[in-house]
Structure 1
Amino acid sequence: MLSRERMIEILEETEVLLRGHFLLTSGKHSKEYMQCAKLLQYPNYAKEIIGDLAKRFKDRDIDMVIGPAVGGIIVAYEMAGQLGVKNVFAEREQGKMTLRRNFSIPKGAKVLVAEDVVTTGGSVREVMDVVREQGAEVAGVAVIVDRSNGKEEFGVPFESALSVEVVAYEEKDCPLCKEGGSKAYKPGSRNI
């Protein structure tokens, strides 16, 4: 298994961990932000980290991997390559996560959900619903960074390359807002 020290080294080298005043997708504020998309600029690191995660699912008879657009597309693709299985992605259509582009999941397939980062688990749960709506089984969840520090549970095997807790505050309780001088910045990909 990839050591925590090696993971931190990679995240620092790729400037994934940002420090400042951030507005999270949840609407909360934080002093830190994990921009996992920056990690995926480096195929060698993606292969190393996702390869390590894939080993944890090698003996689980995974038939397919799915990830949510946009953050999970590359993660799911690399995971599927490591496991030697088919890959698809889910995306939002009129605000609902769905399969598009004539993608389908065979009934009864064992499907692994792959994502770059989990904070509240919302996108992962939406993708799990898509899998189940297709009559398939969610065989597990694999993420690069678990920002819930192990607090999120999905009712299936859940593996992360790194589990951390990035402290988040309601806007009214944010110490950075109370200090003044900085406005929360939203570096993520989804609009609130």
Structure 2
Amino acid sequence: MTDEDVLSEFRSCEALLEGHFVLSSGRHSAHYLQCARVLMNAERAGRLALALAQRLPREIRSEIDVVVSPAMGGLIIGHEMGRALGKDAIFLERPTGTFELRRGFALAEGARVLMVEDVVTTGLSSREAIEAVEREGGTVIAEVALVDRSAGDADLGVPFFPLVQLNFPTFAEEEIPEALARVAVTKPGSRKD
């Protein structure tokens, strides 16, 4: 899949939004990718996961024991990546603000994990999820995401393979351009903190 193919998938289901959004990272943007909409169709989600799996180098694919994704955003694409790779897929939750495995999920000591995210903006959530996997005894050997919004700047500490890399500008609260500040703010993500 080319970058344009991926964006076409987002546009086809109105998942590429324009306005004034507060991202999960706390940064502001005039663009928002609603991955839940692009993944609501199982066939489309499967196509995107297969394309993402093909981005992984063969040597990494062969080492993966289990797929882990942070809920909520990474849950669907994580499940589809598990299917594409023929691996179990589990997820992390934040019941008290810190990622942890629940629902009877556990990692074998030394399990080699592929972390799967929907969107990476600053990489903070990914780094927190990677730390949680390490606390649970696993080792994240790579991360994949549908979208890298960081323009390649996110340092996750592991090899990172996004399906598409976008450079929509984001702004800290004190940097919001006047034109964007005049637009009503929406916080569409799953985290309301």
Q: Report the TM-score when normalising by structure 2.
A: 0.91
Identity %: 39
Figure out how many residues of one structure are paired with residues of the other and give that number. 190
Aligned position for 1:152: 154
Correspondence 1:36 to 2:38: no
Aligned position for 1:164: 166
Amino acid at match of 1:23: V
- Structure 1 residues 184 and 177: CA distance shift in structure 2, 3 A: farther
Aligned position for 2:186: 185
Correspondence 1:46 to 2:45: yes
Structure 2 distance, partners of 1:179, 1:34, is: 19
Q: CA RMSD in A?
A: 1.6
Structure 1 distance, partners of 2:72, 2:180, is: 33
Deviations 1:53-86 (A, max 9, x none): 1123353221100000111111111101111111
Q: Report the TM-score when normalising by structure 1.
A: 0.92
Q: Is the 8 A contact 1:90 1:98 kept in 2?
A: yes
Residue ranges of structure 2 left out of the alignment (5+ in a row): none
Aligned position for 2:15: 16
Structure 1 distance, partners of 2:155, 2:99, is: 20
Query: Helix, strand or coil: the match of 2:115?
Result: strand
Per-residue deviation at 1:178? 7.0
Deviations 1:103-148 (A, max 9, x none): 1001111100001111111221111112111222111101001110
1:77-156 paired onto structure 2 within 5 Å: 77-156=79-158
Q: Is the 8 A contact 2:120 2:148 kept in 1?
A: yes
Per-residue deviation at 1:90? 0.4
Deviations 1:152-182 (A, max 9, x none): 12222211111012211233332246763x3
Structure 2 distance, partners of 1:82, 1:141, is: 15
- Structure 1 residues 50 and 174: CA distance shift in structure 2, 3 A: same
Structure 2 distance, partners of 1:162, 1:71, is: 16
Per-residue deviation at 1:44? 1.6
Deviations 1:2-24 (A, max 9, x none): 11121121111121211111122
Q: Is the 8 A contact 2:15 2:33 kept in 1?
A: yes
Residue ranges of structure 1 left out of the alignment (5+ in a row): none
Aligned position for 2:78: 76
